[in-house]
Chains A and B, each alone.
Chain A
């Protein structure tokens, strides 16, 4: 189970990086994930350099295959990240959408 406190601590930082634009530095597509992410596979993960030069990882959502390329412009959005059990807390976090 994911600790609710850990999620609460992390979520305070998320609002600061919402709606930020950036470019894909590199990417991969995960076919064999860890236990919590199994039901979402395969899914792409991008490493994005924001306009302020900060670097952030996130999954790419609402995408087409042609969007999976370096230099692609994306924007950060709030999405469900995982829920490790039926009763557990649902973790939300940053993902990216192609622009």
Chain B
């Protein structure tokens, strides 16, 4: 069995005094120190990053990480747009299945605020189809199309979406690593300007800098020595068409549904066992669709369910969602997000989540999406 034994994340936000590799270095040093591991005890590294090649002409990051660690080991980069972190974790787990007694470092990072919003948006659009790019569609635009379709089909309004952001900003206020730590109201969301109709600024995750790292190992002696460790019960990557228009349904992410069904089968637990989940809320609509596609809520009921705020910390619900603040409030440094999600579940299951600690959580799920649904990664952890 593979176990996650440590997690460290940098602050997420507009970190103008830090470069991409300053952030990577901080995350690596942080997680190694926590586990009292020397650089030489790391057998391989998987790095999740999307934009360094596009935005700053910065590739071959694997060799840069070797320079930081001062080691000569296999290092790989994973790219799957916003699911780069989740994909890196999945590859690390697969690597461990082929190699016994190894310690693998998984680090995800993104540096986005060195560039204007237009440059960052153009860079992110590289993860959509050529036709979508030529039509002037952005990722907010693609999720806007999904939201518009969903709201009309099930007779909801923009107000239904707003509750996602209210909940996740409340959670962000409890996480000192979050990009945004301010609580907001439904009225704040509804009065914020449009990004891509019907989605507004406060329906959208921000452009952030940040890096997160975990250690995953199958070294039993090392696992026994750890104060905190959680088992990786399943990690599944599923892909689908890059174009939204080519999918069977506009208001569902099929890759999520398939990955989830396989993950639960492998983990041998049921959805009711999950007490904490980090789901991919790049936009408010995305969390509602994710809750339906993950099988926690029935199709079409999400718009109504979210207004009950049962998934908000402190409301006594049986499943609390996005305690980190989600992408919305914790921030969305693209390559780091998937690792931060897994790290947050690690913190929750090992009672290290401080002010936002959910009681008695034995199982947690992380859900990471690339693009408008072309990649989905579902990871289930347990103690």
Partners in one complex: yes
> How many angstroms from the CA of A91 to the CA of B133 in the assembled complex?
12
Whether B122 pairs with A30 at a CB distance below 8 angstroms is no
A/B pair count, beta carbons within 8 Å: 94
> How many angstroms from the CA of A29 to the CA of B245 in the assembled complex?
17
* Stretch in B14-22, B134-142, B292-300 touching the partner: B134-142
Whether A34 pairs with B148 at a CB distance below 8 angstroms is no
> How many angstroms from the CA of A70 to the CA of B146 in the assembled complex?
12
Whether A30 pairs with B196 at a CB distance below 8 angstroms is yes
Chain A residue numbers with a CB within 8 Å of B134 are 10, 81, 91, 93
Whether B131 pairs with A28 at a CB distance below 8 angstroms is no
Whether B131 pairs with A57 at a CB distance below 8 angstroms is yes
Whether A57 pairs with B122 at a CB distance below 8 angstroms is no
**Chain B residue, CB-CB nearest to A29:** B197
Q: Which residues in window 1-35 of A have CB below 8 A to B?
A: 10, 25-35
Total residues of chain A contacting the partner, CB 8 A: 30
Whether A25 pairs with B149 at a CB distance below 8 angstroms is yes
Q: Which residues in window 87-138 of B have CB below 8 A to A?
A: 116-119, 121-122, 125, 130-138
Whether B250 pairs with A34 at a CB distance below 8 angstroms is no
> How many angstroms from the CA of A32 to the CA of B118 in the assembled complex?
8
Chain A residue numbers with a CB within 8 Å of B196 are 28-32
Query: What is the CB-to-nearest-CB distance from B148 to chain A, in angstroms, rounded to a whole number?
Result: 5
Interface string of A46-57 (1 = CB under 8 A from B): 010000000111
A31-B197, A32-B138, A40-B136 given. 8 additional CB < 8 A pairs?
A26-B146, A26-B149, A27-B145, A30-B144, A31-B196, A33-B121, A33-B136, A93-B134
Interface residues of A (CB under 8 A from B): 10, 25-38, 40, 42-43, 45, 47, 55-59, 70, 81-82, 91, 93
